Structure formats: C-alpha cells, structure tokens
Structure 1
Amino acid sequence: MDTQDDFLLTRPPTAERPLMGVTLLLVEDSRFACEAMRMMASRSGARLRRADSIASARQHLRIYRPSVAIIDLGLPDGYGEDLISELSRATPRVQAILATSGDPDGEMRAKISGADGFMCKPFNSLAAFQAAILDHMPIDRRPKGPRRLPTTNIAPDRIAYRDDLTQIARLIAINADPRTLDYVHQFLSGVAECADDQPILAALDQLQSLRQNGQPICHQMRVLSDLIETRLLETKMSALN
C-alpha cells in the first residue's frame, strides 16, 4: 500500500507548494537552523530529512537519493566541502547541491567544491528559500505559470536555540584547543546569525580577532561563556512563564 509520503512525492509542484515532490537532505548540526529549514520545507511542500554530521549523511545516502542536498560547510566531523565534492562527482547526481554557512566567504569554497548554489544564514525568508532551490531544479519540477511570492519570515522555536547553546557551553567547558575554538566560532556564528543575537556575534568577533593577533583569550572566553549562560537562563525563564 502506498504511504502518504509516496503520494506527496508523486504530486506536481503548485503555486502554493512549489517544492511538492522534492526530497531534501539537510546536513546541519544546529537544531535552531534545522527547525527553520523544517518549517520552510513543510510550508513549501517538500519532504525533509536531517543528518547532523558527514558520517550520518553518508549513511542516509546509502539508503536513498534525495532531490536536493543542503550542506553546512562547518560540521563536527569535517568540512562540508568534502561531502559536496563527493556528491557532485556521484552518478547519478542529485538534482541540486546547495551549501550553507553564516560566513558569506564560504560561497567561493562551496562553488569550487561543486555546489550549485549557496544559502547564507540566517534562514528566515520563505521566498528566498524557495527561490534558492527552484533556481537549480529541472523545468518540469517547477510550478507552471506565475505565482505570488510568499512574504512570510520564519521564526523557529527558541528552545532549539537553547539546545544549540547548551551544546556549545558543554564543549568549551571541556576543551578550548584551537580546533575546538574553530568549530565553536563557525557553529555559534551561524546559530547567532539565525537568532539575530548581536551580543554573542560581537563577542565571537572579538574572540576571533584576539586569536588571529596571537593575544590572550581567557577574559574573552569568560565573556562569551557568561553570555551563553545568560541566554540559557533567559530561555529557561521564558519557558516557565
């Protein structure tokens, strides 16, 4: 018997659901960014699966082939560019490979690795999300005729932001070696961009500047840790109210 998912995947795209029939594999370690993407995929008619690492993505790809792969450039077990390169050379190839990052400079690296497009964080515009995917889909997988662009901006649940901050708080409490700090910077920058958390973004910029200039970072690490703890307390109090 056909499942509801099977039925949805065979339906043609419409003006209201322009990504109907599209399956997305999102390779992203941030729960906050994933929640934003899940909401946009759902409103667009697409089906979304998530992998939080390169290893998890490879396991998914052994089982099924998505229509579109959306890959974050900074992942806990490696660089998204490596997975992009693998997928771009694979036969048969997925219809569209998109890279994401909170760093606009990542676009060039992604394109060199074989990405078809680039989505800069934060993810909040439904119209931009749909356009980024449709621009790289075959003509027969796009909705026919004119359509009104959605004006909706997506606002994910702040609980997902709290989960991401909790992960980083635990990580920097255990280890603050250069490789860990590189990951913390790219991960937290993208998450804070999505959450429009300007104080944390400013603290990260200051920390990165100190590191690049070879200056002591202990004080700035405490500043960042205190900000994270403050956000965790704020989200906890908000959930109780």
Structure 2
Amino acid sequence: MDDFMLKQTPTSDRPLLGITALVVEDSLFACEALRLLCQRSGARLRRADSIEHARKHLGVYRPCVIMIDVGLPDGSGLDLIAMLAAASPRIEVILGISGDLDAEHDVMEAGADGFIAKPIANLAAFQDSILRHLPAHRQPPGPRMVSNETINPDLVAYRDDLHHVSEILNRPKSTAKISYVTQLLDGIARSAQDDALGKAAKSLAALHSTGDDTTGGVTALSDMVEQRIAAGGPL
C-alpha cells in the first residue's frame, strides 16, 4: 500500500481520499466506470482481470477495498471472496459485483461485506457502498457532499469488450465458453443499457442451460456483437 495514499485525509467532496482499491473484473467497460467513480471520489484504483491476476496483485499489494465480479474467466469470484473473507489480516472492505441481482445472496454467504449491482454509475450510491463499511478513522469529517452525478464510461472500452467477446465466440466450440461469454455480455449490456444485446445473451444462456442446440443462438449473438463493433456503440 502506498504510504502517500495512507497519509491523505478524506474530505466532504472526496470522501474516499486515502483509500486504495482493487477491482477484479474482466469487463473493461465496467472497469472504466469504476475508474471514473474512484477518481471523482479520491480513491486510487488498480485492476485485475482474473482470479490468477488478483492473487498476483494481492501477493505484493494490500488494498483497503476489493471489489470482485462474480463471473470471471478462470473461475467464480465467490471463491475469491470466501478466501479473502477468511484471511487474517482481512482486507477492510470486500464487495461482490454482478449484473445478476440474485447473486447478492451468494455474495453475502461467501463472506463479503456488501454487494454492488451493475450497472455501476451513480456517484453517491458508489461512495455509500464503500463508506458504510469503513471504520470511523477513514470517514470524511463533518457532513458529506452528496452528488447524484451519473458517470458515462468511454465507449472505446465498450468496443474493446465486444472485440474480446467476438474473439471468444469465433474460437472452436466449447461448453464452458458459452456460460462465460453470456454472463460477460449480460454485464456489458447492462452497463451500456443495451437491452437487445442483453436479451440475446440471456436467450443463448437459456438454450445452453437446457441442453438445446446453441448453434443458431451463437451465430445470432455473434452477428449482434459485430454490428455494434461496426457502429462504434450500442444500437
């Protein structure tokens, strides 16, 4: 942890000043939203895109706050939450992230302090989701300036996510990739407020879960992804 960051004192307009955070999230678009929220709040943010990379970060760096996506490319974020919740010394604040509201129960059962639903965009709600779990000495003095600002991540990150999805969809067929890519796309679609893309991802996930032929669903979803890449954003 940075000694300089530790010496900084939170203020009413930057209530997370002095906080270092690690986000474990594979979506660049979701990470860009969190980067902007942390920047507005005074927190310093680092990112890991998988459980493996998170473990490497945590081997050399101890954040005050860790935010963990439930669906990651190399496993479930719930396992990482459970491991960190049982560790001693414990990270001060452990939060689970998901676009699936039903995941909140599993996140809390795994030992997290709280849950953040995607899309993550409201500044005041983001700050509150962290501040409510921090000890008194990390709280800003006096009344806090509450902002209802909504951040808008750069669509470059959205397109980067879609390029990643396109690459996965065009790999040789595997059962595991459908579960992962539909979950990833659902989160991307929620963050971008792209209802049509989210619906297509859910349809493919439903076909996969019942064991039905997913060939048509994969083709349709791949076409939608390519259309959005070409358009430079949601349609």
Shorter-chain TM-score above 0.5? yes
Q: 1:175 to 1:126 in 2, by over 3 A?
A: farther
Residue 118 of structure 2 aligns with which residue?
A: 121
Secondary structure of the corresponding residue to residue 97 of structure 2: strand
* Mapping for residues 50-129 of structure 1, pairs under 5 Å: 50-129=47-126
Within 5 Å, which residues of 2 pair with 1:1-241?
6-235=3-232
Rounded to whole Å, the distance in 1 between the matches of 2:139 and 2:47 is 23
Query: Amino acid of the residue matched to residue 72 of structure 1?
Result: D
Measured after TM superposition, the shift of residue 145 of structure 1 is 1.7
Query: In the aligned structure 2, how far is the partner of 1:214 from the partner of 1:92?
Result: 44
Displacement of 1:176: 3.2
Q: Distance in 2 between matches of 1:116 and 1:167?
A: 31
Q: Which amino acid aligns with 2:205?
A: Q
Shift of 1:112: 1.0
Q: Structure 2: which 5+ residue stretches go unaligned?
A: none
Structure 2 length-normalised TM: 0.95
Amino acid at match of 1:21: G
Which deviates further from its counterpart, 209-218 or 25-34?
209-218
| Greater Cα shift, 217-226 or 115-124 | 217-226
CA distance in 2, matches of 1:49, 1:175: 33
Letter in 2 for 1:96: V
1:239 is matched with which residue? none
C-alpha contact 2:204 2:217 (8 A) present in aligned 1: yes
Percent of pairs with identical residues: 48
Q: Deviations over 1:38-77 (max 9, x none)?
A: 0000110000111111111111111121000100111111
In the superposition, the TM-score normalised over structure 1's length comes to 0.93
SS in 2 for 1:186: helix
Root mean square deviation, CA, Å? 1.3
| Corresponding letter in the other structure for 2:177 | T
Cα drift, residue 175 of structure 1: 3.3
Superposed CA offset, 1:4-35 (max 9, x none):
x6434311111100000100011111110000
Aligned residue type for 1:180: K
Q: For 1:174 and 1:35, locate their aligned partners in 2 and report how far apart those are by CA, in whole Å.
A: 27
Deviations along 1:108-137, one digit per CA (max 9) or x if unpaired, are 111111100000100111111100000110
Structure 1 ranges of 4+ moved more than 4 A:
none
Distance 2:187 2:226 in 1: 18
What is the number of equivalent residue pairs in this alignment? 232
3-state SS of 2:170 partner: helix
Residue identity in the other structure for 1:188: L
